[in-house]
Copies of this chain bind each other. A is one copy, B any other.
Amino acid sequence: MAELAAVSIGTVSNVLNNPSIVASATRDRVLAAIESTGFVRSTAAHQLRGGRNRSIGVVILDVSNPFFTEMVRGAEHALRDDGFVLVLCSTDESVTRERHYLGLLEEHRVEGILVTPAERDLTHVSALASRGIPTVLLDRAAPGRSLCSVTVDDVRGGELAAAHLLADGRERVAFVNGPPSIRQCADRRRGARRAARRLGLDPDRAIVEISVPALTDEHGELAARRVLERAGGVDAVMCANDLLALGMLRGLDGLGVSVPDAMAVVGYDDVAFAAMLSPALTSVRQPKFELGVAGAELLLEESRDPRHVHREVRFEPELVVRASSTAAKVPKIRRSR
């Protein structure tokens, strides 16, 4: 290829990286030769010589979960203009797989890693960082700021949902929640109780928890009966995610309970179909795309600034009010006057 243009390989390199210092005639000749031979420079050799390889590792729990893919979309958006490429690894929550992939990413010398850790223990992730690879945790904080992270305030999310219901005339809220071993579930529960307290209510009375083993629509549907059977009466339900809420809507419908009149329902996550349901589902939205963008930016910052100090970027969730929780009891009573 260099011989085709009758130049040295050094000149070819200059055409690619320093076009201005090459005589335009030579440059054109080299460009033509590149074109005709289909020459493509090798990132590997470039990198070996001391350059960058413009790739970022992204380790998530599940490629087919919209929560993660929206974050990936955000990260991709933030990185593509800088010529980065994403190396995507889905661990399916397997710690073995996570370690496997982190190892591969390190061998590939990615310039940074965005990771949603599969386990509580962050030893392996921290080890990466201590070996000099910029690492940012997604949807998870690092104890003692030992790493950068982007998170969403789940306590606040739980509070938003409960406060909306309680401040809107509902008196007793059933919280259909998953196991407290899931941090998100525990946090949202705390938030719900905090909302009650801040409104001057007794959390033990205002929030009644209904535990389900998994956050699926089936369990939401089954929980509908338990909500109605609750002694003392309940006039609103908040669910730990939208799948539960969807099942709950179906279950309540099957039991002849009208939503939102007899029972308000609120979900969490604001997945795509929440707005499409009838009644459209009120839900707590997490800024997923923004999480990805912020994660990517922290990564860039960390890799550019040697004096970088780790920090946590914390996002606020947002309540999206829709039909499933409006037209509360109060307006109804007004109507009947």
Contacts and interface: CB of A to CB of B under 8 A. Distances in A.
A3 interface: no
A87 interface: yes
A276 B217 contact: yes
Contacts of A73: 63-64, 90
A40 B66 CA distance: 33
B90 A88 contact: no
Contacts of A250: 276, 278
A44 interface: yes
A76 B48 contact: no
Given A70-B64, A87-B86, A107 B48 contact: no
A200 B42 CA distance: 60
A155 B48 CA distance: 50
B64 A108 contact: no
Category for how many chain A residues contact B: 35 or more
A72 interface: yes
A276 B246 contact: yes
A101 B76 contact: no
Interface in A249-286: 250, 253, 273, 276, 278
Given A103-B40, A107-B43, A276-B246, A72 B88 contact: yes
A40 B107 contact: yes
Contacts of A70: 64
Given A73-B64, A217-B276, A55 B97 contact: no
Contacts of A287: none
A43 B109 contact: yes
A80 B104 CA distance: 11
A131 interface: yes
A223 to B, nearest CB: 15
Residue from A38, A58, A253, A273 whose CB has the most chain B CB atoms within 10 Å: A273
A100 B69 CA distance: 21
A131 B73 CA distance: 30
A105 B66 CA distance: 25
Interface string A71-102: 01100100010010111111000000100110
Contact of A108 (B85, B101, B103, B278): B85
Given A40-B106, A88-B88, A246-B273, 7 more contacts: A40-B103, A43-B44, A44-B44, A85-B101, A86-B88, A243-B276, A247-B276
17 contacts: A38-B131, A41-B107, A42-B48, A42-B109, A45-B48, A64-B72, A69-B69, A76-B88, A76-B89, A76-B90, A83-B104, A85-B89, A217-B276, A243-B276, A246-B273, A250-B276, A250-B278
Interface of A: 38, 40-45, 47-48, 53-55, 58, 63-64, 66, 69-70, 72-73, 76, 80, 83, 85-90, 97, 100-101, 103-109, 127, 131, 217, 243, 246-247, 250, 253, 273, 276, 278
